[in-house]
């Protein structure tokens, strides 16, 4: 197993890519700290892991709050015996509005969760990783951090920021045997994408415009990339954005 005897903290573990990654990491031997602002959703993910023979705890946390970020790290270490992997995955899409119509508080909320949340997760996890001789951090960015998307100024800014602080963290902590990478998903079949589509599905024309493969991605395709980056298979990979977008950003 790729993550045998490892402890992984995963934010946004209550649904979508976070839940699928939590289950996959557990299958590969990791003990999971399943973190979500929706406590019941986090508990369900932990229950699914336990029922499959794994070990997990559920922790409610608002990743944009420093006290919550500190507490989720402390709870994971206390109850699971350490922290080797952090997957900063929690995020929201925010309101779809052009720049001049987007309310200040809506901009701030997206930045707080999608960017500040990643920064806080690393801030509180890295000291423990240093003390334990290293670790792996995976941050969820987006192709929105690489290209501009209409009506998504806050989201694009946050995800570009995630890519930037991923590079900074890799520079600062590589000497402590800590690798830090980001995943840049394209359109993935998750509750978030469903909400963006108004609860429906993308038209064939829309799908073909954003994917050369003629389909949107599956959560497990992102989870497998996260597993690679969290495992020793990626032992020489750090400071990079890994694009998994079905060809959206080719040109």
Instruction: Specify the CATH number for the domain of residue 173.
Output: 3.40.50.720
Q: What is the mean pLDDT of residues 216-231?
A: 97
Beta pairing, strands 56-60 & 178-185? unpaired
pLDDT digits (tens, 9 = 90+) for 184-213: 999 998 766 555 555 556 666 677 677 888
| pLDDT (average), residues 226-232 | 98
In a domain, 211, yes or no: no
Residue 191 lies in a domain: no
The token duo for 42 is 């986090």
Active site residue 155: yes
Give strand ranges (E) for the chain: 7-11, 31-36, 56-60, 85-88, 135-140, 178-185, 241-244
Residue 195: the pLDDT is 54
Hey, is 81 helix, strand or coil? coil
User: Given this model, what pLDDT does residue 190 score?
Assistant: 76
| 126-147 burial: b if 16+ Cβ within 10 Å, else e | bebbeebeebbbbbbbbbbbbe
Mode of pairing for the β-strands spanning 85-88 and 135-140: parallel
Degrees, nearest 5: CA angle 132-86-138: 120
Q: Which of 87, 155, 173, 176 is catalytic?
A: 155
Asked if the model's pLDDT at residue 46 lies above 70, the reply is yes
- Report if residue 91 sits inside a domain: yes
Whole-angstrom distance, CA of residue 59 vs CA of residue 70 = 12
For 99-114, how does the pLDDT look when each residue is reduced to its tens digit (9 = 90+)?
A: 999 999 999 999 999 9
Indicate yes or no: pTM above 0.85.
yes
198 occurs within a structural domain: no
Q: Is residue 193 part of a domain?
A: no
Token pair 């920064």 is found at: 119
Residue 231 belongs to some domain of the structure: yes
Mean pLDDT across 214-219? 92
For Cα atoms 155, 147, 204, give the angle at the middle one, nearest 5 degrees.
Answer: 90
* pLDDT of amino acid 194: 54
Task: Give the C-alpha separation, 54 to 62, whole Å.
Answer: 25
Establish if 194 belongs to a structural domain.
no
> In the predicted model, what is the mean pLDDT of residues 62-68?
98
pLDDT exceeding 90 applies to what percent of the chain? Answer: 88
Which residues, 6 or more positions from 126, have their beta carbon under 8 angstroms from its beta carbon?
137, 169, 173, 176, 178
Helix (H, G, I), strand (E, B) or coil at 184: strand
CB proximity list for 76: less than 8 A, separation 6 or greater: 7, 9, 33, 35, 57, 59, 83
Angstrom distance (rounded) from CA 23 to CA 186: 21
> Mean pLDDT across the chain, nearest whole number?
94
Domain span at 68: 7-186+219-242
Where helices occur in 98-233 by DSSP H, the ranges are 104-111, 117-131, 153-173, 191-196, 204-210, 219-230
Task: Give 138's strand partners.
Answer: 87, 181
pLDDT confidence of residue 196: 54
Rounded Cα distance, 96 and 102, in Å: 8
Does some domain include residue 202?
no
Contact 102, 54 (CB under 8 A): no
Nearest CA among 232, 17, 44, 35 for reference residue 142: 17
Do strands 178-185 and 7-11 pair parallel, antiparallel, or not at all (unpaired)?
unpaired
Report the number of distinct structural domains present in the chain. 1
């Amino acid at each position: 197993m790729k993550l045998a005897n490892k402890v992984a903290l995963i934010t946004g573990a209550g649904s979508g890519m976070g839940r699928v990654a939590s289950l996959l990491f557990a299958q590969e031997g990791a003990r999971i700290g399943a973190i979500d602002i929706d406590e019941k959703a986090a508990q369900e993910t932990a229950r699914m892991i336990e029922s499959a023979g794994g070990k997990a705890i559920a922790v409610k946390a608002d990743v944009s709050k420093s006290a919550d970020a500190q507490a989720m790290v402390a709870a994971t270490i206390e109850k699971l015996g350490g922290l080797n992997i952090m997957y900063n995955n929690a995020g929201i899409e925010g309101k779809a509005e052009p720049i001049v119509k987007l309310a200040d508080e809506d901009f701030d909320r997206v930045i707080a969760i999608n960017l500040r949340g990643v920064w806080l997760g690393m801030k509180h996890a890295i000291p423990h990783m240093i003390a334990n001789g290293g670790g792996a951090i995976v941050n969820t960015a987006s192709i929105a951090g690489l290209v501009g998307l209409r009506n998504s100024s806050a989201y694009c800014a946050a995800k570009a920021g995630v890519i930037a602080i991923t590079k900074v963290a890799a520079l600062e902590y590589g000497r402590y045997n800590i690798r830090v990478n980001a995943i840049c998903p394209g359109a993935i079949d998750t509750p978030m994408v469903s909400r963006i589509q108004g609860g429906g599905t993308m038209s064939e024309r829309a799908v073909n415009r954003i994917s050369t493969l003629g389909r949107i991605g599956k959560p497990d395709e992102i989870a497998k990339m996260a597993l690679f980056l969290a495992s020793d298979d990626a032992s020489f990979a750090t400071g990079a954005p890994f694009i998994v977008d079905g060809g959206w950003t080719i040109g």
